């Protein structure tokens, strides 16, 4: 039987339902609501970027964490492989699938010393959208949710942050959650690709600075 080609909106609608179902009950901060925020951020950024393929941007944003490497044995291509299978099952054009998967593969932060600038405009937009959700008030909440999920302590002044020079070193890191601010979160403002994301990142970055100042005062019993 010949497959009926779906419209772009139908593919998006089906993908939303698929991702929401797959990530239901996820408790590390990589849940459906994270995906929805990243999708909304990505579409906002894309609106200001000439030449971006909005279909590719939206699909990549929706599917970027469908099989996050952190929960799939460190396989950094787990999400793109899963996304590819899903999109093929929806009869999406192979060229579109390739663009979506490329954007997904180039989203992740891989360590302070590892360059991770996406090679496509769509990838840059989705990476910025994902990184915006890693900073600010939401980013703080997600950091501690992930730390708790992985059995990490909140803070240990004896354990110093590390600026990882390889993805392997970053993946194997077991430091407390506060260290993660210095190893990743506070670095993201200056790693944004688009002007829109750079502007949005400023306030979120400053909020994290204020949070850390307050955290250390309470830790020392000053407040």
pLDDT tens digits for range 58-83: 999 999 989 876 766 666 788 999 99
CATH number at residue 88: 1.10.3210.50
Is residue 59 within 8 A of residue 102, CB to CB? The reply is no
Round to whole Å and give the CA distance between 29 and 209. Answer: 21
Low-confidence stretches of the chain (pLDDT beneath 50):
1-2
Number of independent structural domains in the chain: 1
The candidate with the shortest Cα–Cα distance to 126, out of 107, 99, 102, is 107
Helices marked H in 64-176 — which ranges? 78-89, 94-105, 121-132, 136-149, 167-171
In a domain, 3, yes or no: no
Does some domain include residue 1? Answer: no
In whole angstroms, what is the distance from residue 140 CA to residue 177 CA?
A: 10
Q: For residue 133, what are the CA distances in angstroms to 70, 94, 116?
A: 17, 29, 17
- Say if 177 falls within a structural domain: yes
Positive or negative: CA dihedral 41, 47, 48, 50: positive
- Cβ atoms within 10 A of the Cβ of 195, count? 12
Residue 204 forms part of a structural domain = yes
Q: Is residue 2 part of a domain?
A: no
**Residue 142, in any domain of the structure:** yes
Give the integer Cα–Cα distance in Å for 213 and 215. 5
Q: So what's the pLDDT on residue 2?
A: 45
In a domain, 124, yes or no: yes
**What gap in Å lies between CA 187 and CA 123, rounded to an integer?**
19
Contact 49, 125 (CB under 8 A): yes
Domain that holds residue 180: 8-219
Residue at 82 is within a domain: yes
């Amino acid at each position: 039987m010949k497959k009926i080609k779906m419209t772009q909106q139908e593919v998006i609608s089906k993908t939303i339902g698929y991702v929401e179902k797959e990530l239901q009950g996820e408790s590390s901060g990589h849940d459906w609501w994270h995906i929805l925020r990243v999708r909304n951020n990505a579409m906002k950024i894309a609106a200001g970027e000439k030449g971006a393929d909005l279909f590719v941007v939206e699909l990549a944003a929706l599917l970027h964490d469908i099989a996050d490497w952190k929960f799939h044995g460190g396989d950094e291509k787990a999400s793109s492989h899963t996304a590819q299978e899903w999109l093929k099952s929806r009869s999406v054009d192979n060229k579109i699938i390739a663009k979506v998967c490329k954007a997904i593969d180039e989203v992740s932060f891989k360590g302070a010393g590892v360059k991770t600038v996406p090679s496509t405009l769509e990838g840059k937009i989705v990476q910025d959208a994902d990184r915006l959700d890693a900073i600010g008030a939401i980013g703080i909440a997600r950091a501690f949710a992930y730390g708790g999920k992985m059995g990490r302590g909140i803070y240990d002044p004896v354990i110093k942050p590390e600026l990882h020079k390889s993805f392997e070193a970053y993946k194997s890191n077991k430091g407390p959650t506060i260290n993660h601010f210095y190893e990743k979160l506070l670095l993201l403002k200056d790693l944004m690709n688009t002007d829109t994301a750079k502007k949005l990142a400023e306030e979120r970055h400053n909020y994290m600075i204020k949070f850390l100042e307050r955290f250390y005062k309470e830790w020392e019993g000053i407040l």
